[in-house]
Structure 1
Amino acid sequence: MAFAGTKQKCTACEKTVYLVDMLTADNRVFHKSCFRCHHCKGTLKLSNYNSFEGVLYRMPHFDQLFKRRQP
């Protein structure tokens, strides 16, 4: 019996994602290796990311780019 895999595609690379390498964030599916910060390209974890308009960022970069600065 052959393993059929999934029909789900990675949001980042658009290739098939298999269950052992699947990560779901913001209702989108990624390979673990494709779940990266837009700013620094570093690998993200579910505990250290934020998104803005569908773009993923590490929390420090998100804060740096989008937090309101005090006068």
Structure 2
Amino acid sequence: MSFIGTQQKCKACEKTVYPVDQLSADGTAYHKACFRCSHCKGTLKVTLFFVFEIYLYFFV
């Protein structure tokens, strides 16, 4: 028996995201640790962020 892993890649680091560590925002997969503000590197919440071009930011 072989394990068939996920093909989801984290938008921030481009590494495989496993379901245990996956966070989906705006239809895109991220690692929980990679879901950070591009400017200040603070941890984002799924409800308080916005995307400009390809970068994540706090929604202020």
Q: TM-score range by the shorter chain?
A: 0.7 to 0.9
Please identify the structure whose Cα radius of gyration is greater: 1
Residue number in structure 2 paired with 1:33 = 33
Unaligned runs of 5+ in 2: none
Offset, 1:2: 5.4
TM-score by length of 2: 0.83
- RMSD, aligned α-carbons: 1.5
Structure 2 CA distance for aligned equivalents of residues 4 and 20 of structure 1 = 15
Q: Looking at secondary structure, tell me which structure has more helix per residue.
A: 1
Number of aligned positions between the proteins: 60
Structure 1 CA distance for aligned equivalents of residues 54 and 14 of structure 2 = 16
TM-score by length of 1: 0.72
